Amino acid sequence: MRFRTVSRNERGWTRRRAGRGFQYLDELGQPLGGADRERCVALAIPPAWEEVWICRWPSGHLQATGRDAAGRVQYLYHPLWRERMEQEKHERVLEVAHRLPAGRERVLRDLDAAGVPRERALGAAFRLLDRGLFRIGNDRYAAEGGGYGLATLRKNHVTLRRDRATMEFAYEGKAGVAQRVIVADPRAYEVIGPMRRRRDGETLLAFQERRRWSELASVDVNAYLQERVCADMTAKDFRTWHATVLAAVSLAAVDEASRSTTARRRAVAATMREVADVLGNTPTVARSSYVNPRVVELFEEGVTIAPALQRIGPSLDDERDRPVLERAVLKLLTET
């Protein structure tokens, strides 16, 4: 299908309340009927949305927008367009995963620096994204009450446990959901400690140059990822890739003898709950937006990374074993 690129700023349709439902209006304010009205109804635009804009074209890549109860603009995309974008995303993330080991080595060299210069601070942010699977966040979203991400965390959101070189993060994430993330990483701990203890500023991520502290933003972190790994990488790719690896590990651990249709369905559901718990999402979001669908398809065909698990075990915590599991997942998705 060929899609028309549209914008919520161009002329479109809208809706207004009528009794217990809604009346849909064209760009001139006239009521819609027939197939046009049926398409609007089929979009299932949430009733709570205000300032609703509806695309005039069935082929528009963006079908509707509106403001939720918190005043944030929300988007409804054409399902086929979203499916295409999801496929392209997962293909891109596989390329990121291929380049990630070399990127991690470059980051380790940045972390060898003394003090908290910019590159070392960004290296610590990289490690936190890689280990803690944070959303990146941005100032605008935090200011609108959308919750915090790594780039907008405050110093008081983290507690340092010196005896275990552990950082415990407690904060309000997307949609106001309470998040608790524990990261045990001595290399990042050495950098986050001075950030946390500095006197000026409230934002956690910062670097020091000539005794002066400057805060880091999400754009700085994403630029660093692109420099150290590849030009197409974004912070969200960590969440997508690790969700995929975790799902592949979980499904590979399912006993082959119990892989009836019902057992497989239950295993997939349990896996998505496990992934969602790590991401701080719902199982539905974990499956639709993060886990590469090919992992589930292959599992249902009886193909997993079980041989790799038999050699080293299912833990993703050991820094020596994790690359082996990641390579197994990458091979599963690119060569099967």
Q: Residue 328 and residue 20: Cα distance in Å, rounded?
A: 54
Phi first, then psi, for residue 23 (nearest 5°) are: -110, 135
pLDDT at 316: 64
Would you give per-residue pLDDT tens digits along the chain (336 residues)? 899 999 999 999 999 999 999 999 999 999 999 999 999 999 999 999 999 999 999 999 999 999 998 788 999 999 999 999 999 999 999 999 999 999 999 999 999 999 999 999 999 999 999 999 999 988 766 655 668 999 999 999 999 998 888 999 999 998 788 999 999 999 999 999 999 999 989 999 999 999 899 999 999 999 999 999 999 999 999 999 999 999 999 999 887 766 788 889 999 999 999 999 999 999 999 999 999 999 999 999 999 999 988 887 666 666 778 889 999 999 999 988
Phi first, then psi, for residue 215 (nearest 5°) are: -80, 150
Looking at domain 106-228, which of 3.30.365.10, 1.20.1430.10, 3.90.15.10, 3.30.160.250 is its CATH number? 3.90.15.10
Indicate the angle between helix axes 79-110 and 293-300, nearest 10 degrees: 100
The residues, ordered by sequence, that sit 6+ positions from 149 with a Cβ below 8 Å of its Cβ are 134, 135, 136, 137, 138, 141, 142, 173, 174, 218
- Please give the sequence-ordered ranges of beta strands (E in DSSP) within the chain, or none if there are none: 14-18, 21-25, 50-54, 62-67, 73-77, 158-161, 166-172, 178-184, 206-209, 212-215
The residues, ordered by sequence, that sit 6+ positions from 127 with a Cβ below 8 Å of its Cβ are 107, 111, 183, 185, 187, 188
Under CATH, domain 14-77 is a member of which superfamily?
DNA topoisomerase I domain (3.30.66.10)
Under DSSP, is residue 154 helix (H, G, I), strand (E, B) or coil? strand
- Please give the sequence-ordered ranges of beta strands (E in DSSP) within 116-205, or none if there are none: 158-161, 166-172, 178-184
CB atoms within 10 A of CB 87: 13
DSSP state of 217: -
Domain boundaries defined on the chain = 14-77, 106-228, 236-335
pLDDT at 137: 87
Phi first, then psi, for residue 317 (nearest 5°) are: -85, -30
pLDDT at 297: 95
Q: Residue 65 and residue 50: Cα distance in Å, rounded?
A: 9
Beta bridge pairs of residue 60:
4
Q: Residue 30 and residue 74: Cα distance in Å, rounded?
A: 25
pLDDT at 244: 98
Residue range 236-335, CATH number:
1.10.132.120
pLDDT at 143: 59
Per residue in 272-283, pLDDT (tens digit) is 999 999 999 999
Under DSSP, is residue 286 helix (H, G, I), strand (E, B) or coil? helix
pLDDT at 144: 59
Q: Residue 77 and residue 89: Cα distance in Å, rounded?
A: 15
